């Protein structure tokens, strides 16, 4: 956001000078300030499972499972109603994103136009959700899948503070929130070839694959390793040839 503001301010002031609204560009010496390094915390598979096991209630376990297993945004997760859980023509289940929760307020729209749509569910997770519907006190179509104690929508910031942070302390993690779960899904899916970058982009519902790759997938592509291997083979091979030539020359002199 800071970098975007910097770019727009520079562009606007340049254009204002160009159109003679300003005599001198006030942003000509503007520099980008230092900003906090983005968090890159990831979980390993055992940590993923430990987080789920540490959750106390069935609802809390399912909240973590849905977020971990679908990489859904927390604002979308909190807004899901039972009518959002749909069975598609292929027999598989998906969650339909039509609402979001933001700053404790329910909004009748998704984060972006591209975010509106269906989030595929793993078979086992879909079965667990259907089983949860038979156990919850709020099973109606308009009821929230993960309600608060009054039956209203859950607040994800409260969930992070009340559930995820104690779990983080209990199992000894440096950081644990919905963003960590979403980033870990993307990194493991691409890094371990569970799917292609395009598959992960679609699951995260990003408009561009570079958003997924740059901001969520914290993995060095194999192509980079292939490149450095090839480079080192050339470098090491060249040095080895020089060493062999030098050894041969010494042997000849002796």
Give me the pLDDT at residue 146, please.
96
Strand partners, 209: none
- Residue 116's Cβ-count burial label (10 Å; 0-12, 13-18, 19+) is middle
Residue closest to 187 by CA, chosen among 53, 47, 1: 47
Mean pLDDT of 150-162: 95
Q: Which of 126-135, 167-176, 223-232 has the lowest mean pLDDT?
A: 223-232
Give dist(CA 247, CA 251) in Å, integer: 6
Per cent of the chain over pLDDT 90 is: 46
Give dist(CA 245, CA 251) in Å, integer: 10
Q: In this structure, what DSSP letter does residue 137 have? A: S
pLDDT at 115 over 70: no
Q: What is the pLDDT of residues 20-61, one digit of tens each?
A: 999 999 998 888 888 777 678 889 989 989 999 999 999 999
- Mapped onto helix, strand or coil, the DSSP state of residue 188 is helix
pTM: 0.71
Sequence ranges of the domains in the chain: 1-35, 45-215
Give me the pLDDT at residue 186, please.
85
Give me the pLDDT at residue 71, please.
87
Mean pLDDT of 4-13: 91
Q: Could you tell me the pLDDT band of residue 235, with boundaries at 50, 70 and 90? A: low
pLDDT at 240 over 80: no
Q: When comparing pLDDT for 241 and 130, which is higher?
A: 130
The CATH code belonging to domain 45-215 is 1.10.443.10
Give me the pLDDT at residue 125, please.
92
DSSP H helical ranges for the chain: 2-18, 45-54, 58-70, 74-79, 123-135, 156-159, 165-171, 178-191, 197-204, 209-215, 222-253
Residue closest to 215 by CA, chosen among 206, 223, 228: 206
Give me the pLDDT at residue 254, please.
55
* CB-based contact 187:219 (threshold 8 Å): yes
Q: What is the pLDDT of residues 184-222, one digit of tens each?
A: 888 888 888 787 778 777 777 766 666 655 655 555 556
């Amino acid at each position: 956001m800071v970098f975007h503001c910097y770019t727009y301010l520079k562009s606007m002031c340049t254009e204002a000078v160009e159109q003679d609204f300003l005599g001198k560009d006030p942003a000509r010496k503007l520099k980008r300030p230092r900003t906090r390094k983005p968090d890159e915390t990831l979980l390993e598979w055992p940590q993923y499972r430990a987080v789920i096991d540490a959750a106390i209630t069935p609802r809390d376990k399912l909240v973590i499972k849905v977020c971990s297993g679908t990489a859904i945004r927390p604002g979308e997760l909190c807004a899901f109603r039972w009518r959002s859980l749909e069975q598609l023509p292929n027999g598989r289940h998906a969650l339909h994103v039509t609402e979001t929760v933001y700053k404790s307020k329910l909004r009748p729209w998704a984060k972006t136009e591209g975010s509106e749509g269906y989030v595929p569910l793993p078979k086992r997770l879909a079965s667990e959700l259907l089983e949860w519907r038979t156990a919850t006190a709020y099973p109606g179509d308009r009821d929230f899948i993960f309600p608060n104690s009054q039956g209203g929508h859950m607040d994800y910031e409260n969930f992070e503070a009340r559930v995820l942070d104690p779990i983080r302390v209990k199992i000894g993690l440096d950081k644990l929130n919905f963003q960590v779960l979403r980033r870990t899904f993307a990194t493991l899916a691409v890094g371990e070839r569970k799917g292609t970058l395009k598959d992960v982009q679609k699951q995260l519902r990003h408009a561009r694959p570079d958003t997924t790759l740059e901001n969520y997938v914290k993995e060095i592509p194999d192509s980079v390793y292939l490149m450095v291997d090839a480079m080192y083979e050339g470098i090491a091979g060249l040095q080895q040839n020089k060493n062999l030539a030098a050894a041969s020359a010494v042997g000849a002199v002796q």
